[in-house]
Amino acid sequence: MSKPTLIAVLGPTASGKTEWAIQLAEHFGSEILSCDSRQFYRELKIGVARPSEEELARAVHHFIADRSIETPLSAGEYEREALAKLDMLFSKNPVQIVVGGSGLFAKALMEGFDDMPEVDPSIRERLNAEFAQNGIDPLREMLLKLDPEHAKRVDLHNHQRVIRALEICLQTGKPYSVFRSKKRTSRPFDVIKIAPDWEREILYERINTRVDLMVSEGLEEEARSVLPFRHFTALQTVGYREWFDHFDGLMDRETCIAKIKQNSRNYAKRQLTWNRKESDLRLFNPTDFDEALVTIESKLR
């Protein structure tokens, strides 16, 4: 190989990415970087589907429960840390693995980011508080006024993307879109992107089953334990914010669980939309890992 190669296992929640990544690591003698933006934190286990102790024992993992939620990791910081980690890993083995469903963090590692200005944390806190109190509609309206061009392109149902654009607008007084270039950052490694491709209805069944399992394992108690950090971005997500609403008396327990399933399916839908925009992403029958492996080995040759 002229360059080291990063194998990126992408795909929606509950699609089996973790198992595929581990099998690849076992086959190539590689290590695994997570690009799941919530699995970074020690306090979050059940609700983020962190790999089990048995799975973690099968391959060396990085960026799994390696920091506290009190020191959040941005996509830009992840990019710098993950590139440094990869540089070290490639010196030992020219094939390494990254896995996760957070498209923004995967993009940061594989392509890099535009040079965005630093944002005053108080702006982010104010926007998160607005979302927590009034939902996404006021934020959506604000973005339509401050940057109508970006509002046409961004997923207006994804509050994290809307807030990210707004905080740049409010920090600089300029539209977020003026800071976005179309240039891809050159990387000193090649990337092979793969994803297990389930039929939509089967994927939704897997998501519903996973949520039931999470609840039986203690998701409610985990959500209660991180309630003091509810304003953090990592907790403004599926599987936690619904419990916070339940704790506030806004919905009963059964409705809460049903909402987690519904919002998880919607999140998977957004992940699938993101993946459709990924160039060179190969989709494979999720029950035929060997086909994916043959394709990867042919590309490596």
- Residue-by-residue pLDDT tens, the chain, 301 positions: 579 999 999 999 999 999 999 999 999 999 999 999 999 999 999 999 999 999 999 999 999 999 999 998 888 889 999 999 999 999 999 999 999 988 888 988 998 876 777 787 778 888 988 998 899 999 999 999 999 999 998 889 888 889 999 999 998 888 998 887 656 678 999 999 999 999 999 999 999 999 999 999 999 999 999 999 998 878 988 999 999 999 999 999 999 999 999 999 999 998 888 777 777 999 999 999 999 999 999 999 8
- pLDDT at residue number 184: 64
For 152-185, the DSSP string reads HHS-TT-HHHHHHHHHHHHHHSS-GGGG---PPP
Contacts of 112 (CB under 8 A, 6+ apart): 79, 184, 185, 187
Q: Give the model's pLDDT for residue 181.
A: 62
175 is in an annotated binding site: no
Per residue in 239-293, pLDDT (tens digit) is 999 999 999 999 999 999 999 999 999 999 988 887 777 779 999 999 999 999 9
15 known ligand binder:
yes
- The response to whether 299 counts as a known ligand-binding position is no
**300: alpha, beta or left, given left = phi > 0 and alpha = psi -120 to 50?**
alpha
Q: Any known ligand binding at 237?
A: no
Q: How many CB atoms lie within 10 A of CB 25?
A: 23
On whether 16 is known to bind a ligand per the annotation, the reply is yes
Q: Is 249 annotated as a binding residue?
A: no
Residue 283 belongs to what H/E stretch? strand 281-284
Whole-number pLDDT of residue 116: 73
Burial of 173 from C-beta contacts in 10 A (0-12 / 13-18 / 19+): exposed
- Is 13 annotated to bind a ligand? Reply is yes
On whether the CB atoms of residues 24 and 71 are closer than 8 A, the answer is: no
**11 marked ligand binding residue:** yes
For the chain, which domains are there?
A: 5-113+183-300 (3.40.50.300), 121-179 (1.10.20.140)
Residue 182, pLDDT score? 57
pTM of the model: 0.82
